[in-house]
Amino acid sequence: MIKTRRGIVVSNQMDKTTVVRVDRMVRHARYGKRYRVSQRFLAHDADNKVEIGDRVVIEESRPLSRRKSWV
């Protein structure tokens, strides 16, 4: 099963690479309040066609570089 994430593109300055922010809600262990946690993933974009603010679905792939393993 391939892992997928939904997120928002926050940077596309690199060649064939975008930075995608993935937000999720977690519950505090003691107090129960829900709060937002975000992670940033480097994703491969071969055509350089996504723009900042686009909502995208990324999926895991083989490692393409040291930090990039999402397409």
SS3 per residue for the chain:
CCCEEEEEEEECCCCCEEEEEEEEEEECCCCCCEEEEEEEEEEECCCCCCCCCCEEEEEECCCCCCCEEEC
Mean pLDDT value of segment 34-42: 98
* pTM, full prediction: 0.91
Q: How confident is residue 45, by pLDDT bands cut at 50, 70 and 90?
A: very high
At residue 40 the predicted structure's pLDDT band, cuts being 50, 70 and 90, is very high
pLDDT at 70: 98
